[in-house]
Amino acid sequence: MMDSQTVRSEDAAAGPIGASLASSWRIEVFSDPADVSPDWPRGASGVAQCHAFQTLAFLETWQASYGQSDDIDFCLVEVRDAVGRPVLMVPFIVHRSRSGRVLGFADLGAADYNAPVLFPVEHAWTIAGARRLWTEITALLPAFDLVLLDKMPEKVGSLINPLYLLADKINPESCHLTQLDRPWPEVEKQLQGAKNLRNRARALQRLGACDLVIAQTAEQRGQMLETLLAQKQRRFEETRVPGFDEHPEKRAFFTLGTEIMARAGALHLSALVLDGKMLATYWGLVHGGHYYGLFIGNESGEWSKYSPGRVLHYLLLQHLNATGFVCLDLGIGNEAWKQSVCDVTIPLSMMVEAQTLRGRLSLLWRGLRERLVATSLWQKIRPLKWVILRGWRDKAVGKAFEQ
């Protein structure tokens, strides 16, 4: 385990952020969520402001799944002022990849928003103040070739995100959500195809007992999770994208996270159930009045004409609105269906910096690859890779079975 480290940054010149942080910063770095201070939020209580993706419950789940690779150093940073009051806490990793050693957030595709846990300070953050603090933090981290901080919102709750001030690029994708803190007729009015969804929900109800079910027990959670993973894997294969067989850490995240998040009071697992059959399933997190919809699956074939996934989303919106939630957040991604059901777009930014020659070469390669991926030819060819790989896998399994 990495020992915690502390640094003091004398800031007697007292610029705006220096004045708000008294005369020094105290910075500690930990490698295990079990070692951080009690100020790091496990859930949504306290004065700290953060997204669900920076809570200890999420980080413990992430460490037990994505974080098991030997190529990852977990760097949990805590920043305090001179008298020990918390200023911010942020989960970084240094990840070894073909790009070299990359400094980023504890994410790798699991989080929708990347930002620090923020505490109120007396004065506004400035670019200069954020840069000074950034320099002090990175001096304590393992060596890295490239900084890649993505999916950063401008604010966390009501507080300015200081890392956003250092961003130099627009994140390619935004987050999208539906505001729920208003009467249901106003919410429904913003939904494209709301009348059609009501009709499909009624059509399902005519077939039998059709209800929105929220998991309350470990048995219900287990059944819903098993169904969801099967629905998602089928969808991965239908759309020719890598699934759980190529990314077992993703399956591990949802499998382990279901009970970890449930114990923390942060899980919201639901299903659209018709006479005992789960037609669609939804795995989400809750943080205060904020619902994050992370994973949705649905049956296909004969059920496609009823759009069970869309119906589940519609009924869940109603449920969350009636129970006092502020929003349903569909997170990162500019898919057309998200934009059709959401009325708020959250733009995000990135900070990308090369620290070494290897980092600069990596940025050059990233630019070339991004241009290649954007071509229509690449978009046509890419799905065929997964068709071929799955064909080889299925053939190998068949031979093993025959033997």
Across the range 125-153, mean pLDDT stands at 95
- Smallest CA-to-CA distance from 55 within 341, 373, 323, 290 is with 290
- Smallest CA-to-CA distance from 87 within 21, 29, 132, 136 is with 21
With pLDDT > 90 as the criterion, what percentage of the chain qualifies?
A: 75
Across the range 339-361, mean pLDDT stands at 94
pLDDT class of 82 with cuts at 50, 70, 90 = confident
Looking at residue 21, what is its pLDDT?
39
Phi-psi region of 174 (alpha: psi -120 to 50; beta: other; left: phi over 0): beta
pLDDT exceeds cutoff 90 at 50:
yes
Phi, psi of 13 (to 5 degrees): -65, -25
- Range list of H helices, 274-375: 308-322, 336-341, 357-373
Per CATH, the homologous superfamily of domain 176-346 is Gcn5-related N-acetyltransferase (GNAT) (3.40.630.30)
Give the model confidence (pLDDT) of 252-271 as tens digits.
999 999 999 999 999 999 99
What 8-state DSSP symbol labels residue 276?
T
Looking at residue 121, what is its pLDDT?
86
pLDDT exceeds cutoff 90 at 277:
yes
